[in-house]
Amino acid sequence: MCLGGPTWNRVTGAWIKVHAQTPLYEFSVTRVMFRDIQLVIYDLDGVLIDSNKAIVESFRLLHEEIGEPFNPGDVLSRIGVGLLEIFREILPERHHDNLAGLRLSYIRNFQELGTGYIRLLPDVSETLAEMNTRGFSQSVATNKTDYEAERILKALKMDPYIDLYAGYGTVPKIKPEPDMILYTLAKLGVKPENAVFVDDTKISLTAGIRAGVNTIGITTGNNTLEQIQEVNPTTIIHEFSRSTEIIR
C-alpha cells in the first residue's frame, strides 16, 4: 500500500511521517512515539525467545508416541494459536477425544528437552534491562502456561525483569481473546492507553487490539510482515531493541 504526498498521519499513540510512494510500514520507527506508557506486555515465543526447535521436537515425539506422521511445517505455521487448537487442526479426529492427555504428553516432552533447545532472541536481555532501569512495568502474556513461561525465563535469567506472567489457565480464554491482556491491566493497575503489547503474530495481536491497548507487531517470530499487517497494529518493528526508542 502506498500513500501520496509527504504528510503526518495520526495513529493511536503516535504520529507517523509518510512520504509519497512509501509503503505504509516502511517508515522509520523513530517517528513513532508512545507517550505516557507505564506497562509493556510481551508475548513469549517469537518476541522474547526462539523455542521453535523445542516445539517441533516435542510435537515430533508426540506424533511418534501416537503413531501419526509428522510435518514440522504444520506446527511452525500455527505457533501462537494454542496447543489444543493445534491438535484439533493437525491430528485426525480419532485423537480429539484425548486432547487433555495429548497436551500433558506434549508438555512432558517439552520440559524434558530442557532449555538447551531454547534461546533468547537478539537484544532481548539488553532491552528488558533498559526498560527496567527506566521504570516501566514489564509482563508476559503467552498461550503457554504462566508456570512454563516463568520456568523458561528464570532459566534464561530474564525473570528479574518481569512483574507478572499470564498464560493458559490464568484466565478463561487464551489469545486472541482479550482476557489475558485485561487481566494483566487489572492486576498491575494500568489503563489500556498507558500500556503497549508487543507480539509477533496476528492472532495474538488481536488480543491486544480487542483489549484497547497500544500494539506493536514485530517480525522476529513466525508471522510474515504481510500477515501482521492484516490486523493493523499501531506500528510494526523489525528489531526488538527498537522498542526502547519509541516507548516513553
Residues 108 and 75 reside in one and the same domain: yes
Same domain, 107 and 192: no
pTM of the model: 0.85
Give the residue from 68, 84, 117 where a domain finishes.
117
**Local confidence band at 31 (pLDDT 50, 70, 90 cut-offs):** low
For the stretch 80-129, pLDDT in tens is: 788 999 999 999 999 999 999 999 999 999 999 999 999 999 999 999 99
The three grid cell numbers given for residue 228, joined into one nine-digit string: 501482521
The domain containing residue 224 runs over which residues? 34-50+119-246
For 64-92, what is each residue's pLDDT tens digit?
999 999 999 999 989 878 899 999 999 99
Residue pair 15/115 in contact (Cβ under 8 Å)? The answer is no
Whether residue 79 is found in the same domain as residue 108: yes
Rounded Cα gap, residues 216 and 42, in angstroms: 10
The predicted pLDDT at position 27 comes to 42
Looking up residue 189, the CATH number of its domain turns out to be 3.40.50.1000
Domain assignment of residue 29, yes or no: no
Give domain status of residue 18, yes or no: no
Strand, coil or helix: 163: coil
Tell which of 89, 117, 145 closes a domain.
117
Between CA 204 and CA 227 the distance in angstroms is: 12
Question: What pLDDT does 24 receive?
Answer: 44
Instruction: Output phi, psi for 165, to 5 deg.
Output: -115, 135
Q: What is the pLDDT of residue 128?
A: 99
Same domain, 105 and 133: no
**3-state class of 232 per DSSP?**
coil
In a domain, 11, yes or no: no
The per-residue pLDDT for 80 is 79
176 prior amide bond cis, ω within 30: yes
DSSP 27: S
pLDDT tens across 187-244, in order?
Answer: 999 999 999 999 999 999 999 999 999 999 999 998 999 999 999 999 999 999 999 9
227 within a domain of the structure (yes/no): yes
pLDDT value of position 11: 42
What digits encode the pLDDT tens for the residues 152-166? 999 999 999 999 999
Point out the domain boundary residue: 117, 139, 158: 117
Can you tell me the mean pLDDT for 30-48?
Answer: 92
